[in-house]
Structure 1
């Protein structure tokens, strides 16, 4: 909520018609509208409309309020700024940058008339394979909490509702529709809840999205303890809870469980199910009223009823957004290895540069699924390096065959009668039932449906069947590749080879088959679309392995080699988890290139750690670039050639082996579809601190082109009704280049009656632009939560008496300063 001081300031700055309403004025207007609504209108209002809108009620001045996916851009309505993956922002450890990103999001949304942005996401990184780790803010609840609040404030400050998601414990995509995440209350309160709590209490977020999964055996969408007791009562949340798309599975339990808005439409919360429930008292009118009241409160508070949301005077391609995403990438890329100071490359000496790897060109700017944003433009690693070093010769070799998805636009098919294309049958239902509404020939299956797919077919809830043949020219192995949002399945010669028949974000699948030369094969593909985005693709191509030799030859003659590898939107994204190992062939590519050139730097695109054991000891340089957004590779080139000094630090522990991870043995779930979070609070560095195993790179780690020293620590208790401690110290640049250092403060609790982590992050500061030889003084204040744990018996935070150690330094494993305070 706006404070009285801010409201007073705004009242003098704005004309009366534009001043933000007071809380009392909001509540009066909400009750006035609510009092005019019929019971039927109230029921209608708690179900979505046309996939990405709220229900309109024209007679009451309630328009359909428009939503857009996040959290890497306002993506649903044509090209937009493609921001970095949020984990990149987390690696910047920069709350003010998070606020700036939020502001840019808000302006992009207003330009497109969007009222509600489905961002930010704050699920904790529990396993590196989670397909959506790149969308989130790392493994530490304190770091995530410090970033999510300003991000939300930035979005909502521009008159757009932010939606924090996915509440709660949605830390894997595998089984997200029907797996139960079994987590004890202390672990939820200390690890998985704090970022959501900060979003509510500090960010004042207006919307919370519940997760698909079950929590302790109950779907999140109908978990009364989660939605009512914790969120609304304990934290005082005043806004509304929406479901993720298709996350509702019942009517009465959901209505009574705390969910306020079913998306994308009223499949379960509708007149048919709720009218009799109101009549027999199973659901009370007060319960329905509360849902509507929460939605109206948010819409009135944000001014939706009093102005047009769209701001067409703003540029669709935002210069501010482009600069913001560059800043995100510059601050968030992490230099992990720099043996023999191979970096920065000296542009005066490096005249021949080889960019090698599948991610080197074209650009890979983001992960997949509902976070994927199509930019107006994006620069690749190859092109960014060529632009940064115009006097050098830049050679590119992908090192492996082109992306399988290229076959979507080149694969040839024939109908049974021999015409070019496939026979397509379109149905106005999701189950291919009845007589097709439209039958025609489609040359290929390669469509992203912005509008209805065929005349007379609805934009949503349709299905299609394609049939025909294809002929292969040579004997060999062939890949059958498909991608779809939602369900799809493929038969070759009558045998089902791909089966992904489920609601999902865009998802890739592939089958490899052996065919003889000049042989013809039948193909059938079926597809259905539910709500939201719609796309479907089918292709085939011969498997080839020629291009790794081209890459090795390019590397032999180069002064420096940049190997750009990792995942991409088709391999890491919503709907499923990825592998811990790099995609097929990439390990071998790195090893073969490193065998012919000593000046190799590996640049990784991934949302979390990967298996590096096969090649890391063979290369001197390693940069974690995450997903850098549309302009991020310009920042990468600037870092590689020393125009920028790397300053990002890991918001995760970079696992040496998956087997060393805290969740190993309790992922992806047991035969009963239950995932036991048996590690409890010991996630990430909390686990490694207590384990005989160590990460490859620790939480908070990141190299720079300069070095830093820490000194003059003081720890001072502050007079307050609750424990507060003032921590002060100096950071000195002991190297030869100006740089930013991320100073971190950890707390070690005294031994007590419950297990506590060895230490926990409880403060940090991005110390900017420290010149060589200069020092800057840093002050960090620790509040009572820095020393507390959740007492399950007392149902409250407790600060035990005793001596607490205060540890300060540049990473979780580099803490040269130590002090203490007795509480």
Structure 2
């Protein structure tokens, strides 16, 4: 009900051609060599008919992989081929499995456009693709803080931009998180194009510093190709210059960046989960200078995952989280800052106040594993209390909760109507824009189970839906359908899925901690799957 659920949804609703197994072991066995996972669950329970492939170089036994349900070993080599042929001849590789995989691969080949005679034009519609990237980045950005209507900025505002990320803007991650872009609009470029006036003296200092330390070639690779962005010292602007920029600009923008990718874990050290000392000093100096003359400070987070914000968020007036938003990064930032579009993204993950609030922080056995310097074993410590389930159940106050995200406008929730129709719960909610700006809201549905027969989290997200763009005063009725089966939890003793008998509380909200409407659904008898 936690880790498999997203894959089940994809299999049943999208019918993908292929699924890839993961690298890790589950209960001591590689997932690419686990017939329970790849055959019993994926094929027999869910009805998946496509091919299953390994991740690149995953697992340690190609014969066991094929026998366990793998159809395609990636990338494959002569040694693997020889092992498979030898095992087939010796009877260790099941002939029926080879035939099954062969037939599945043939069916996939027959579905491909190239098999059906299509020849690519080699002229993709890059402008259309860029607009999709722009929209995705725009819709996913999250406004974490906005005191006294710091944002949106007025078009034509004079802005001082701090942080090397204004130039070395991160469009994407590393490894499989990377993309090859025709271009990347960095943050300063985007601000200029939107009509904001950049403090040129300050920009020239940053431009010279970044070019000298990166090199133009590496900066170009950062925009278009894949290169690890070198960590640069952020505390190199003199306090006298910071004070001068505070006098002549309307607002300060501070860009904080973090990259991510394959094959490394998060670190609790400064410069990763926590700010580095130079980043802290920059924020402190800029905040002091600008606030002393009645000016506002905005933090822009160009990051891939949660960082610690609680200790320094009072030093800034607004925080805009843009993640790694793709090649249109600068345009996205600018359009959000000037209010061309109101932020409408919500956090898909909790931002804790401190690392010690994270459930796996209780022991190195849980994270990063043992031995800590080079882990070979990780103990799964969270049980069912993963992410917001942990924070909500045990009353741990986060910096920003799961599902959180502000807007430049406000929304009113009303008119909750609930009914059970056969095997589904049908919900209807009215959402009205009661603010001054157009905007979209993400309606979230959480369910609190009885929890009498088996331990359950305080609540779990069961559905969400985003409204259309609502003008001030406009209302939309949102319809949401939840399968009763989605209320089920796995009972380890009964080895069955159950929906508990009793009252299930339906909570409708703007985040996991901002519940606006509630109701209850009664299940008269335990339902078993």
Give the structure-2-normalised TM-score: 0.88
The one of 86, 107, 113 aligned to 1:276? 86
Alignment of 1:112-123 (within 5 A): none
3-state SS of paired residue (2:152): coil
Whether contact under 8 Å (1:400, 1:547) holds in the other structure is no
Give the total of aligned pairs: 502
Q: 1:675, CA displacement in angstroms?
A: 1.5
- Whole-angstrom CA distance in 2 between matches of 1:667 and 1:244: 23
Alignment of 1:251-650 (within 5 A): 251-266=62-77, 268-270=79-81, 272-315=82-125, 318-347=126-155, 350=157, 352-389=158-195, 393=199, 395-396=202-203, 397-398=205-206, 402=210, 406=214, 546-547=236-237, 549=239, 552-553=242-243, 555-557=245-247, 558-568=249-259, 572-578=260-266, 579-583=272-276, 585-598=278-291, 599-650=296-347
- What do the CA deviations read for 1:396-452 (whole angstroms, capped 9, x no partner)? 254995389726979xxxxxxxxxxxxxxxxxxxxxxxxxxxxxxxxxxx999xxxx
Whether contact under 8 Å (2:440, 2:466) holds in the other structure is yes
Whether contact under 8 Å (2:163, 2:234) holds in the other structure is no
- What do the CA deviations read for 1:209-231 (whole angstroms, capped 9, x no partner)? 12122111112222222222222
Q: 1:610, CA displacement in angstroms?
A: 0.1
* Higher gyration radius (CA): 1
Whether contact under 8 Å (1:400, 1:545) holds in the other structure is no
Whether contact under 8 Å (1:326, 1:635) holds in the other structure is yes
Whether contact under 8 Å (2:214, 2:230) holds in the other structure is no
- Whole-angstrom CA distance in 2 between matches of 1:220 and 1:275: 23
Q: Determine the structure 2 residue equivalent to 1:164.
A: none
3-state SS of paired residue (1:689): helix
Q: Determine the structure 1 residue equivalent to 2:21.
A: 210
Gaps of 5+ in 2: 267-271, 524-529
Whether contact under 8 Å (2:235, 2:282) holds in the other structure is no
Query: Compared with structure 1, are the counterparts of its residues 269 and 408 closer, same or farther at alpha carbon in structure 2 (3 Å cutoff)?
Result: farther
Query: Compared with structure 1, are the counterparts of its residues 812 and 769 closer, same or farther at alpha carbon in structure 2 (3 Å cutoff)?
Result: same
- Whole-angstrom CA distance in 1 between matches of 2:316 and 2:192: 22
Query: Compared with structure 1, are the counterparts of its residues 210 and 336 closer, same or farther at alpha carbon in structure 2 (3 Å cutoff)?
Result: same
Whether contact under 8 Å (2:199, 2:245) holds in the other structure is no
* Structure having greater relative contact order (Cα 8 Å, sep ≥ 6): 1
- What do the CA deviations read for 1:733-789 (whole angstroms, capped 9, x no partner)? 111122111111111111321111111111222111222222221111111233211
- Whole-angstrom CA distance in 1 between matches of 2:30 and 2:398: 34
The one of 429, 449, 452 aligned to 1:729? 429
Whether contact under 8 Å (1:717, 1:726) holds in the other structure is yes
- Whole-angstrom CA distance in 2 between matches of 1:507 and 1:356: 21
Give the structure-1-normalised TM-score: 0.58
Q: Determine the structure 2 residue equivalent to 1:493.
A: none
Whether contact under 8 Å (2:359, 2:390) holds in the other structure is yes
- Whole-angstrom CA distance in 1 between matches of 2:136 and 2:159: 26
Q: Determine the structure 2 residue equivalent to 1:200.
A: 11
Alignment of 1:707 with 2:407, yes or no, is: no
Gaps of 5+ in 1: 1-189, 411-445, 449-504, 511-540
Q: 1:553, CA displacement in angstroms?
A: 4.8
Q: 1:345, CA displacement in angstroms?
A: 1.3
Alignment of 1:734-753 (within 5 A): 734-753=434-453
- Whole-angstrom CA distance in 2 between matches of 1:546 and 1:632: 25
- Whole-angstrom CA distance in 1 between matches of 2:221 and 2:407: 45
Q: Which moved more, 1:248-257 or 1:397-406?
A: 397-406
Whether contact under 8 Å (2:290, 2:297) holds in the other structure is yes
Q: 1:507, CA displacement in angstroms?
A: 6.3
Bigger helix fraction: 2
